[in-house]
Amino acid sequence: MSVEITGDIPVPPEPSKRGRSTKDKGVGLDTQGQKPPPIKSHLKVIEEMQAEAAPAADPINRTAKPAPAADPYDPDRYTESVDFTKLAGTKPLISQLPVSRPAPDDYIRTHPDIVFSNVPLCAPSGEKGQLYLMDSSNEELLADMLKYTRNYFLFYTVTAENKLFLWPIVGPHPDSGKWHQSPQTAAIAAERARTEWVQVSHMEGLGYVAEGPRTHGKTITKVPAFADFARRRILELAFRSFTIKDYDHPYVRRCLFMSAGVVQDGE
């Protein structure tokens, strides 16, 4: 900040020479015996006037306490209003499609047009019914794993609660072409579910039985809510994490006795 100086610059008066004793001459003392203040230079006077005109700096409050740290458990920090009613009508994201039989207490419908046939699947023991898709493009691997692989039908299915899944049903024997009772009755029930809501349960000696709901004369208006997926997308969602593509798969190595240290390559 600059200060404009106008007029003459005041200069302190010279000390009076009267009243000095002979012995005080040359010492520069006033009549009271005190040494007069030194004469200030023009630059010094300007600096002092600028300092007086400048705003005083804010003093540091060294006694102030620091602000308290934010409380991570303060509920007021987590009270932003959200309108969850806007979520109504939105469809959930489907990242995986289960491959399983229908529960006996679920009413189901199978898609009238989407069914996959002759799908090579294998079911490793100890994995709670999990099915793996064999990569049919690897003919050598498929031939070596033929003993552990069966061809399945896969029915695209939905429950009355809009849960989607693929219903696997073992096909007829590849050599004789004959069906076993359980998969044959399951296929009949899946065929019926194409046009009506049914519950499917397994009965000893009868196989799978499909029963319609007791409507008491009322008409069922529930429409099956199938997601509009392409056929390839359905298979991808079902087997993306459960596809056997080569001999490095743990189940293949177990079945073909290829565990480390068991079989050595010939020279």
Query: 14 versus 237: which is more confidently predicted?
Result: 237
Length of the chain measured in residues: 267
pLDDT at 74 over 90: no
Mean pLDDT over 221-230 rounds to: 92
In sequence order, what DSSP letters do the residues of 158-174 get, joined into one string?
EETT--EEEEEEE---T
* C-alpha–C-alpha distance, residues 208 and 201, integer Å: 6
Mean pLDDT over 231-260 rounds to: 90
Helices (H), the chain: 42-53, 139-144, 181-192, 231-239, 250-255
pLDDT in tens, 183-223: 999 999 999 999 999 999 999 888 999 999 887 777 788 99
Q: What percent of the chain has pLDDT over 70?
A: 71
Contact 196, 212 (CB under 8 A): yes
pLDDT score at 248: 92
Q: Give the bridge partners for 157, in sequence order.
A: 110, 165
pLDDT score at 267: 45
Mean pLDDT over 238-264 rounds to: 83
pLDDT at 120 over 90: yes
* C-alpha–C-alpha distance, residues 65 and 43, integer Å: 43
The two tokens of residue 111 are: 């898609």
Mean pLDDT over 99-110 rounds to: 95
Contact 132, 122 (CB under 8 A): yes
pLDDT in tens, 5-54: 555 555 555 555 554 444 444 445 555 566 666 666 666 766 777 677 66
Name the residue among 19, 36, 18 with its Cα closest to residue 28: 36
The amino acid at residue 58 is: D
Q: What is the rounded average pLDDT for all residues in the chain?
A: 81
pTM: 0.64
* C-alpha–C-alpha distance, residues 228 and 91, integer Å: 12
The amino acid at residue 191 is: E
Query: 223 versus 61: which is more confidently predicted?
Result: 223
pLDDT in tens, 130-182: 999 999 898 999 999 999 999 999 999 999 999 999 999 999 988 888 999 99
pLDDT at 97 over 90: yes
227 pLDDT band, cuts 50/70/90, is: very high
The two tokens of residue 107 are: 């009413």
Query: 174 versus 61: which is more confidently predicted?
Result: 174
